[in-house]
Amino acid sequence: MNITRTIMGNLRVVLWLIMLIGALVAISPTYGGDGFSSNLEFGIEIEGGSTIILELQGNLVQLQGERDLIVEHLIEQSAEVDITKVSSNDETITYSVDDLASVKNDITLATTWATTTFDEDENTFTVEVTVNQAHAQLLSSVTNGSKVTLVSFEDAEWFEVRRSLTEEEEQMINEMTRDEFEEHLLGWYDEQLGDLATVTALQNRVSPQTTQETRDILSTKLNYLGLADIPVKTISDNRYIEVEFAATELEQA
Contacts of 167 (CB under 8 A, 6+ apart): none
Average pLDDT in the chain:
85
State the Cα–Cα distance between residues 82 and 176, nearest whole angstrom. Answer: 43
Q: Model-level pTM?
A: 0.74
Cα dist. 253→56, 223, 239, 249, 250 in Å? 19, 15, 22, 6, 5
State the Cα–Cα distance between residues 80 and 93, nearest whole angstrom. Answer: 18
pLDDT at 44 over 50: no
On whether the CB atoms of residues 250 and 243 are closer than 8 A, the answer is: no
Domain boundaries, the chain: 3-37, 67-131
Q: In the prediction, which pLDDT does 209 show?
A: 94
Q: In the prediction, which pLDDT does 89 show?
A: 97
Q: In the prediction, which pLDDT does 45 show?
A: 44
| 128 closest CA partner among 142, 112, 140, 141 | 112
pLDDT at 25 over 70: no
pLDDT at 213 over 80: yes
- Burial bucket for residue 110 (CB in 10 Å: 0-12, 13-18, 19+): buried
Cα dist. 212→49, 160, 208, 240 in Å? 24, 14, 6, 9
159: amino acid identity, one letter: F
pLDDT at 10 over 80: no
Q: In the prediction, which pLDDT does 42 show?
A: 44
